[in-house]
Every structure is written in C-alpha cells, then in structure tokens.
Structure 1
Amino acid sequence: MIQGLYETHIQVSNLEKAVQFYTEVLGLELAHYDDNRPIAFLWIGENKKAMLGLWEQQENLQKRHFAFSCSKDFILNSANKFLEDNGLKAYNFLKNGDNKPMVFAWMPALALYFDDPDGNQLEFIHILEGTSQPALGVISYADWLQRKDDSKV
C-alpha cells in the first residue's frame, strides 16, 4: 500500500530567502511558488518522487527535522567542506562539538546534521550495508567499521 514518503512541509521566516537557500545552496528544484498563501514547493531528487513544502510563518515558527538521502562518499568525504563553503556548520547526532558523521547502528545508517537559516534541523543520511546492531546505539563510523569487521570473525 504505502510505497514511500512523498512530501514534507516546514515553516520558514522568509519564503524568498528560504527558496534561495534550498535551491542555490542545496540544489533542490523549484516546482511552484505561490505568493498568495505564501508557500513554495521544491522537488527533491529526480523524477518528481519527493517534494518539500516551505510555508512562510512570521511568528511562532516551529522548527522541524528531516533527512536527505546522500551517498556514503559524499557524507564521509565532501559534506563538511560543502557545508563550510556555504556558511553552515556540521554537527553529529550527539551535538558534542564534533562534526564527524555517526552511525545509527540499529538501521544501520551514516548521518551528519546541519541547520537551515531558520534553525530547522537537516540531515544527510545514507543507509549502510550490514546487519542491524541496536545494542551499539549511535557510534562513530570508525567504531562501526571495527564492529562490523569483528562480527565477521
């Protein structure tokens, strides 16, 4: 019945600036801009398989979280520089001052976080190969590789 998540919506304080951030910085494609509501819809990825709605909200802005699927290589080797080059700060799930991606062992998935200009928490995520290991919790990628290799012995 359900085949995936098609769209999600977030509130932004300035629609024009948010559209600029999501299109020019993150590379999403503008699908529709409606000044009357005010709202903008952006395509995520190719083939119109996912969409993000940006709703302008002047007061009582409610921050949200969502994740973008990315390649493992991008998260490990390019994400921090990409974010830094665009004036954004990467952080890990623990928010302990480290900007290295971490692994949610229960999935398993590699993830790195950053905030949009309105403070919405965004995430780059990649589902890793391997067996779910919930008991490990959230660990560094290096620890994940070590544990993954140890489990083959």
Structure 2
Amino acid sequence: MIKGLYETHVQVSDLENAIQFYTEILGLQLAHRDETRPIAFLWIGKGKEFMLGLWEQKENLQTRHFAFTSTKEDILNRSVEFLKNKDLIPYNFLKDGSIQPMVFAWMPALAIYFNDPDGNQLEFISVLEGEGKPELGVLSYEDWMQQQ
C-alpha cells in the first residue's frame, strides 16, 4: 500500500520569508498559495514528485526536522560550499563543530544538516550502499570507508 512519503508540512513565522527561502535559496518551486489562509505548497523535485507545505504560525511555533534526498557525490563535494554560499551554516548530527558530512552507520546514510530561518532542522541525506553497522554509531565518511 505505502510506496513512499509524498509530502510534509512545517510551521513558519513569516510565510513570505519562508517562500523566499525555500524557492530562491533552496530552489523549490511554488506550487500553490492559499489566499484564504496563510499556507503555501512547494514542489520538491520534478514532475510533482514531492511536496512541502508551509503553514504560517505567529505564536507557539513548533520547529520540525525533515531531510531532502541528495546524492553521495553532492553531499561530499558540493553541500558545504552550497550552504555557505547561501549564508547557511552547515553542521553534522553530532553538533561537534565540524561541518563535514557524517555517516549514520545503522542505515548506512551520509548526511549534513542546516536550519531554515525559523529553526526547522533540514538535512541533505543519501543512503549508502552496503549493510548497516549499528555498532559504529555516527562517524565521518572517511572512517566509514575504512570500515568497509
């Protein structure tokens, strides 16, 4: 029955600012803006593959986390530079001051994090080939490759 996750929604404090961030900074496409309430929908990917909903919430904003699918090559070779060029601060899951992507060994998957203007925690992630090794925890890509 379930074939994937089609959409997710996040709360934002300023809908106009959020639309600008997700379209101009991250490159998503505005799909629809509901003129009767402060909500906008954005396409992720081509051909209406996935959708992100932005809901303006002026009080009691609850931040969330979600991840954008990426490629291993893009995460390793372009993600940090891409984020810095957009004045975004990349960080890894461990929040140890490093801006290098990390591997979640249990999956395994390579990831790098950053925040939107409201503090929603965003991630670029790529599932890696091979079997997971949960006992390794979270480690650098170089350390992961040495374990292979």
Q: Common fold, TM-score beyond 0.5?
A: yes
Quote the Cα distance in structure 2 between the aligned partners of 1:53 and 1:121. Answer: 15
Quick one: which amino acid aligns to residue 82 of structure 2?
A: F
Q: 2: CA distance between counterparts of 1:84 and 1:132? A: 30
Shift of 1:35: 2.8
The alignment status of 1:106 with 2:106, answered yes or no, reads: yes
Query: What is the alpha-carbon distance in structure 1 between the residues aligned to residue 5 and residue 123 of structure 2?
Result: 16
Query: C-alpha offsets along residues 71-118 of structure 1, whole Å, 9 cap, x if unaligned?
Result: 111111111111111110000000011000000011100000000000
Unaligned runs of 5+ in 2: none
Gaps in structure 1 of 5+ consecutive residues: 149-153
Aligned position for 1:51: 51
- Per the alignment, in what secondary structure is the counterpart of residue 40 of structure 2? strand
Corresponding residue for residue 29 of structure 2: 29
- Is 1:129 the counterpart of 2:104? The answer is no
Q: Which amino acid aligns with 1:116?
A: D
Deviation at 1:131, TM superposition (A): 1.1
Aligned length: 148
- 1:1-150 counterparts in 2 under 5 A? 1-148=1-148
Percent identity between matched residues is: 68
RMSD across aligned C-alpha pairs, in angstroms? 0.7
- Provide the rounded CA distance (Å) in 1 between the counterparts of 2:40 and 2:84: 26
What SS does the corresponding residue of 2:113 show, helix, strand or coil? Answer: strand
The 4+ residue runs of structure 1 with deviation greater than 4 A are none
SS of the equivalent of 2:124 reads strand
